[in-house]
Amino acid sequence: MELWQYDATDLARLIRTGQASAREAVDSVLARLHKVNPAINAVVRVLEEESRAAAETADAASADIAAHAINMLNLFVLISRAPYASRHTSVLPRIRHI
């Protein structure tokens, strides 16, 4: 199934779970638009550059969020395994506020 064939909910799920990128979704929709629009003339103005720029911004934001989440998870794992963590509890409240 092509990305342009998904409804918005399923497409958002694919992007959120990393099975597709926003850029891939936009490219799929634009390719379909260029294929069928000449015959039906439904879209007068195509905002191709703007759509791709927005998709790249969304993908970059998702990558930043994922990287931050992984870094925080690694930090918590390291702290929980540190031999001094139970004795130095003053470290944990500061970590929770990061």
The token pair at 59 is: 């993908």
Angle of CA points 57, 60, 64, to nearest 5°: 135
The tens-digit pLDDT sequence of the chain (98 residues) is 999 999 988 998 999 899 999 999 999 999 999 999 999 988 888 999 999 999 999 999 988 887 766 666 666 665 555 554 445 444 444 444 44
Side-chain-side CA neighbours of residue 35 (13 Å): 7
Residues ≥6 apart with Cβ < 8 Å to 92:
79, 85
Q: Is the pTM of this model over 0.75?
A: no
pLDDT of residue 95: 44
Integer Cα distance of 55 and 11 in angstroms:
13
Tokens of 88: 């130095």
